[in-house]
Structure formats: structure tokens, C-alpha cells
Amino acid sequence: MSDTRTYIDAFKAFESSLNGQTSTPLHQIRRRAIESFEGNGFPTSKDEAWKSINLSSLTGEFKTAESAPLPASALSDLGYNLDTTLVFVNGQFDEAASRVSDQPDGLTVSSFAKEIASGNSLLDDHVSEVAPFDTHAFTALNTAFLTDGALVHAARGVVSESPIHVVYVSTADTGEVAYPRSLFIAEENSQVTIVETFLGLSDGPYLTNHVSELIAGDNAILDHYKVGLEGPDALHVSNQQSRQGRASNLRSHSISIGGQFVRNNVSSALDGEACESTINGLYVLNGSQHCDNYTLLEHCKPNCPSHELYKGILGDEARAIFRGKIHVHQIAQKTDAYQQNQNILLSDDARVNTKPQLEIYADDVKCSHGATIGQIDEDALFYLGARGINRETAHRMLLEAFANDLLSRIKIESLKDGLTDRILTKIASNG
């Protein structure tokens, strides 16, 4: 087991560097978070949610990465370009690399550091509101060492016509950690689309410890995309928590391509009657990559539909875990929930553990779940071969169609095209 004392001492040094700014409401949140971490420590193999993982690589001593200049070609190499882009390097805002186009009145696109300096109470009111740190060690550490992050706030009735791109770039060296943080708020009757990209420029085993809080008010529409393009040996732990109001609509899509180890925790509380939630994911892995997806859809109110589809393509010795739960509370009558996990294994050494779950306490619901793990359909390969398509091309076509089921749901054309190119390149390397 790692020594949590290292992080306690690091927090004391961090606190002393704040130059007396320790009486603010935000810093009181930091203190409660480090106290929670000190009391609970890191998870162990006895914890159900972590028992299949070698925790030693995640719970060792990591030094906080310093901000660094962004290489000139880093963003152009992404393959997609959005007008409004906030760039953070090792968790710190890079104003020179960012650009914010004209926004409608009532839409705030900013960094935590700027808002802290201006005294914006939004952070005091909403940080840790939907992502509690008392049950999640990595969230506690992210909150304790919080200095910067992305804030998108759409006031009541505001409609943003163009998507907002938040890029978290890591240039961290081996043994360093960054703590990116996101707070996305769509108030009543507002509409906003946000893309989060995690881009790794380092080949070493650095750690990204990310927390994202999404709040959708009554009748709001919040579209969210999370794209994982971490470095080849990177470790990535993300906790995404959402809360929805009445008749709101949240659509969140997670695409995991990079990183040696990726853990995505995605949770949404359907906390208003007639709200709707869509949680989708796609992971394409090769080599010895490992990707975990843990999802929780909390149906807290009546008449709420939810849709969940996660797909995986695994080659070589890749590993994946999917654990998804739909929890229907007793009050949540007329729930209509669907959950599916589908996987294709391209080698005898690839492995997937999948566990879709329903926990239902209401008696008037329509819920279903399922999981599949298999190989490329030989009958389909034969069918294509009979029409003059060689086996290699047919193999790639079937994988493309499998992945496109999710990629086609991306509404931003440049994002969809850029991700499609990356995924097809990776599929070809799995071929």
C-alpha cells in the first residue's frame, strides 16, 4: 500500500503557497477533501470496484506537474478544430493557446483561476456539488489540489449555437500528475455543447486525475463529448458526475483511444421528472492497454427514459472492464431504461469482463440490459468474400461498421471526421 502521508505533506506545502488565501469558501472545500482522503486513503483490492486492477501504479507517489509551453503543432494535429477552445497544459490555463469567439450574453467560458481572481461565487456554490469526494479517493485528491479548470456556464434561456472545446494537454514527465477540473452548468431552458479532449504529448507514465461536474437545469439541453487521446504509457482516472432537472436532456459520449490505463467513472442522476439521459462509449484498444468503464444511472424521479450503449474493439493483449448499473428508485415509476455493452475481440489474448446490472425498486417500469463478447462473424466475412472483397478489406469493413454505430451519433462533423480517421487507423493496426 502507498503512503497517503506523502499527499498530506504535499497539501500542507500547497496550502502554504497560497499566500494567506486560505479563508475562502473554496479552500474550505479543499481542506475537507484532504481530510476525507486522509481518513479513507486509496482504494484496495478488497473494494469491489477496484478488485480487478493493479492499484500500485495509481497509488504511488506522484509529483504535481508544472505548467509548460504548448508545442505549436499540438492542436493542429488533433484533426478537428472548433472556434471556441480553452487550452490547459498540465492542468493550468494557457491563455495564449486558447481562443474564445463571440458568445451570446449570459454564456461564460472561462478558467477557474480567472473566476477565482474575480470573486465569482459560482465555484464556491457548485464545486463538489454533484461530485462528492468522501467516497472517491481520486476525486478527493483532485479537489484538494484544485487550482484551475474549465468553467462553462449558460445562464437561463441562453442557447449556444457553436460547440465549446476544452483541451487538457499533458506534457508531464514520468511520475507527475495533473489535476484537470471541469464545471459545466446549463441553467433552465439553456442549450450548450461541450467537447473535452485529453491529449498526451509525453511518452512516460504520467497520471491524469480528472473530475467533471455537469449540471442540467429544468428543460436544459447539454451535449457532452469526452475524447481520450492520452500518451501510450499514460494513466488516466476520470470521475464524471451529472445531475439533471425536470424535462432536461443530457447526452454524453466517451471515446477512449489512448492511454495505457484508463478508468472512466460516469454517473448521472435523473433528478427531475421527464428528464432524459443518454450515456454512450466506444473504446478501441491494442497492445497491453486497459480500459475500465463504470457507469451509474440513478433514476430518482418518474417518467424518465435513459439509453446506454458501450462498444469495445480489443486486439493483442488488451483488457477492458464494463460495469454499468441502472438504479431505479421506488418513486421512479414509468422509467424506461436500456443498457447494452457489445465487444469484439481480435485475438485469443484479449479479454473483456462485462457486468450490466439493473437494481429496480419501482413496479411500473420498462428496463432491459445485455452484453455480448465475440469475434468477427465468419459468415459475414464469407458473404463479403463471395462478392469479390478480399478478407483483409472485409475484416476492416465490419469493424468500421461496428464502430460507426456510435461515431454516427456525434453531431459535430469535424469531430466525427477526426475521430473516425484516428479510429480507422487504429483498427487497421489491429488488423
- DSSP string for 67-109: P-PPPTTTTGGGS---SEEEEEETTEE-TTT-B-----TTEEE
- The radius of gyration of the chain from alpha carbons, rounded to an integer in Å, stands at 21
Q: Which triple of cell numbers denotes residue 116?
A: 477565482
Span 218-243, pLDDT tens digits = 999 999 999 999 999 999 999 999 99
Residue corresponding to grid cell 473494494? 47
Residue whose C-alpha cell reads 499566500 in the numeric block: 19
What pTM does this model have?
A: 0.95
DSSP-derived secondary structure letter, 49: G
Query: CB neighbours (10 Å) of residue 197?
Result: 24
Among 155, 104, 124, 118, smallest CA distance to 25 is for 124
Distance in angstroms (rounded) separating the CA atoms of residues 273 and 247 = 6
Estimate to the nearest angstrom the gap between the alpha carbon of 361 and the chain centroid: 28
- Residue type present at position 139: T
Q: Which amino acid type is present at position 105? A: D
Which of 48-62, 144-158, 195-209 is predicted least confidently? 48-62
Confidence (pLDDT) at 103? 84
Checking if the pLDDT of 418 tops 70, the result is yes
Q: CA-CA distance, 283 to 285, in Å (whole number)?
A: 6
Comparison of pLDDT for 382 and 185, the residue scoring more: 185
Residue pair 279/306 in contact (Cβ under 8 Å)? The answer is yes
Our measurement of the distance from residue 135's CA atom to the centroid of its chain's CA atoms, rounded to an integer in Å, reads: 18
* Rounded distance between C-alpha atoms, residue 214 and residue 244, angstroms: 8
pLDDT of residue 278 exceeding 90: yes
Contact present, 298 and 330 (Cβ < 8 Å): no
**124-128, 194-198, 338-342: range with lowest mean pLDDT:** 124-128
Contact 181, 130 (CB under 8 A): no
pLDDT score of 342: 97
Above 60 in pLDDT, residue 357? yes
pLDDT band at 285 (very low <50, low <70, confident <90, very high): very high
Predicted confidence (pLDDT) at residue 119 exceeds the cutoff of 50: yes
At 275, list the grid cell. 428528464
The arithmetic mean of pLDDT across residues 333-351, rounded, is: 96
Mean pLDDT (whole number) for 346-362: 96
Quick one: CA dihedral 3, 6, 8, 11, positive or negative?
A: negative
Measured between its terminal Cα atoms, the distance across the chain in Å is 39
Inform me whether the pLDDT recorded for 118 exceeds 90.
Answer: no
> Which tens digits make up the pLDDT trace of 20-71?
677 889 999 999 999 999 999 999 888 888 888 888 889 888 999 998 888 8
**Given a cut of 70, is residue 377 above it in pLDDT?**
yes
13-34 pLDDT, tens per residue?
998 888 767 788 999 999 999 9
pLDDT, residue 303, reads 98
* Residue 46 to residue 52: CA distance in whole angstroms: 10
User: Taking residues 99-112, what's their average pLDDT?
Assistant: 91
Mean pLDDT, rounded, of the chain: 93
202: which strand partners? none
Report percent pLDDT > 70 for the chain. 99
Q: What is the pLDDT of residue 1?
A: 41
Cell 428543460 maps to which residue?
A: 219
Task: Show me where the domains of the chain are located.
Answer: 5-272, 383-431
For the segment 378-387, the average pLDDT, to the nearest whole number, is: 88
Distances in Å between the alpha carbon of 399 and those of 235, 251, 373, 388? 26, 24, 14, 18
Mean pLDDT of 343-348: 95
Q: What is the DSSP letter of 48?
A: G
When mean pLDDT is compared across 1-15, 138-152, 185-199, 357-371, the lowest value belongs to: 1-15
- pLDDT band with cut points at 50, 70 and 90 for residue 431: low
Grid cell for residue 171: 506534457
- What CA–CA distance (Å, rounded) separates 186 from 173? 36
Bridge partners of residue 355, in order along the sequence: 323
pLDDT for the residue numbered 79: 85
pLDDT at 2 over 80: no
Q: Considering only CA atoms, which of 333, 389, 340 is closest in space to residue 360?
A: 333
Pairing of strands 150-154, 107-111: antiparallel
* pLDDT at 324 > cutoff 50: yes
Per-residue pLDDT band for 333 (boundaries 50, 70, 90) equals very high
DSSP letter at 173 equals: P
Q: Could you tell me the strand order of the sheet in which 84-89 lies? A: 92-93, 84-89, 164-170, 191-200, 221-229, 249-256, 276-285, 305-314, 336-345, 366-374
131 is written with which cell numbers? 461530485
Written as nine digits, the cell of 224 is: 457532452
Question: In the structure, what pLDDT confidence band is assigned to residue 427 with cuts at 50, 70 and 90?
Answer: confident
The residue assigned the cell 514520468 is 174
**CA–CA separation, 423 vs 348, rounded Å?**
21
